[in-house]
Amino acid sequence: MEEIIELNRPEDEINLLSPLTWAYIGDCVYELYIRTNLVNKTNLKPHKLHIETIKYVKAKNQAKLLEKIQDKLTEEEKNIVRRGRNAENHHLPKNANVQEYMHATAFEALIGYLYLTKKHSRLKEILDFLSNNT
């Protein structure tokens, strides 16, 4: 992926980005991971792929995923999650309660942060753990 998309911000700059920016990227990264896994593991048609993807990427599920990995996170990652959860988001969730939405944002922030800081092996470790334990 890095050959296609150049990540050129230094880590100290990434640390200064809004946690909602991390979540914005994390949402994309996680959805691409899920879509790719579904394409690799099933023979579903595009509409069914979409329906299956939604099950994984909806806020309620992402909040549960964060709960599953919470005790496996480093202190730095817990701090990223805390910042993501506490980010002031004026978006009102339509299919989740506010707490679920805050935790989903925290999950996405962690995924986005690991992606942007090029911690790809750690990102893969977390995603593979979740893939094998859901």
Give me the residue spans of the domains in the chain: 21-132
Instruction: Pick left, alpha or beta for residue 118 (phi over 0 → left; psi -120 to 50 → alpha; otherwise beta).
Output: left
Digit-by-digit pLDDT tens for the chain (134 residues) are 556 677 888 899 999 999 999 999 999 999 999 999 999 999 999 999 999 999 999 999 999 999 999 999 999 999 999 999 999 876 767 788 889 999 999 999 999 999 999 999 999 999 999 998 87
Catalytic residue, from 12, 27, 71, 128: name it.
Answer: 27
- Catalytic (active site) residue 27: yes
Show the tokens assigned to 9. Answer: 């911000």
Distance, in Å, from the CA atom of 116 to the CA atom of 111, rounded to the nearest integer, reads: 9
| Nearest alpha-carbon partner for 99 in 66, 134, 133 | 66
Fold held by 21-132: Ribonuclease iii, N-terminal Endonuclease Domain; Chain A (1.10.1520)
